[in-house]
Amino acid sequence: MTQYTNGLTQLVSGGRFKNGNGSKLHNLKEEEYFGDNHIASGIETPLKPDAFVLDDQSKMEIIEHHFEQIMETLGLDLTDDSLRGTPHRVAKMFVKEIFYGLHPNNKPTISVFENKFRYGQILVEKNIRLNSFCEHHFLPITGKAHIGYISTGTVIGLSKINRLVDYYSHRPQVQERLTVQIAAELKQVLKTEDVAVLIEATHMCVSCRGIRDESSSTLTTEYSGAFNEDKIRQEFLRYVDHNI
Ligand SMILES: [Zn+2]
């Protein structure tokens, strides 16, 4: 029996799930339960130790083969002009585009500068475009990230914040982990604990399947250092809300 950190739910052996009163919540396979409830397992993206033994070209060839099998299994005619190139396109898109952020070699190099202006107030970069992909369904997550930090002497170029958001978004993700990964990276790069990350996003796996709710969005936040103080946090949120 495993107790999960959300404190609400227990996973009971046999693939049935019970709440604290012992009443049955779902009768799902464990894999389905995790997927539909978007439980994140940790800050690191779960990767195999040999994740990068194969080069990109080899990965694309393997994915192309398997995606062709998926299409064939669905009954699609791969001799059709329109479908013929799809396995190759999907393979290339997975490795080179939408999941490029899996490979550490693709992490943006972040140069930092001395804070010569002695600017010691909150810096907020908001409405950063975010395109990610749900790791439970491989469907898009789209939204915006809002970042705040207070410099302790180190600053980074503003576009580098966008690049970090982009990098961590371009891998199979859950929004909670994405939020924490961006915050952890910024704390390390900026050498400060005073970092805030707020993400608002819509999940296509919620809007297009399952419950099919097109109106809901998901907000996740990670506050650390000074942003744990109510006054600073409220100031950050005011800036995020403010439409310039
Ligand atoms: Zn999903």
Model confidence over 13-41: pLDDT tens digits?
333 333 344 444 445 666 666 566 655 56
Task: Report the run of H or E that residue 140 belongs to, with start and end.
Answer: strand 140-150
**Structure-token match 């339960």, residue found:** 33
The one catalytic residue in 170, 185, 203, 222 is 203
Give residue 143 CA to ligand 1 midpoint distance, Å. 15
pLDDT for 58 equals 98
Task: Give the end-to-end CA distance of the chain in Å, rounded to a whole number.
Answer: 51
pLDDT for 2 equals 34
Measured from the Cβ of residue 185, the count of other Cβ atoms closer than 10 Å reads: 20
With a threshold of 0.95, does the pTM exceed it? no
The one catalytic residue in 64, 68, 185, 205 is 205
**Structure-token match 């914040």, residue found:** 161
Under the banding of pLDDT at 50, 70 and 90, the label for residue 113 is: confident
Are 63 and 92 in contact by the 8 Å Cβ rule? The answer is no
The answer to whether 65 is a known catalytic residue is no
The answer to whether 208 is a known catalytic residue is no
Give residue 14 CA to ligand 1 midpoint distance, Å. 23
Tokens of 136: 């439970």
More confident call, 18 vs 179: 179
Is residue 5 over pLDDT 80?
no
> Please, what is the Cα angle at 72 between 93 and 94, to 5 degrees?
10
The answer to whether 205 is a known catalytic residue is yes
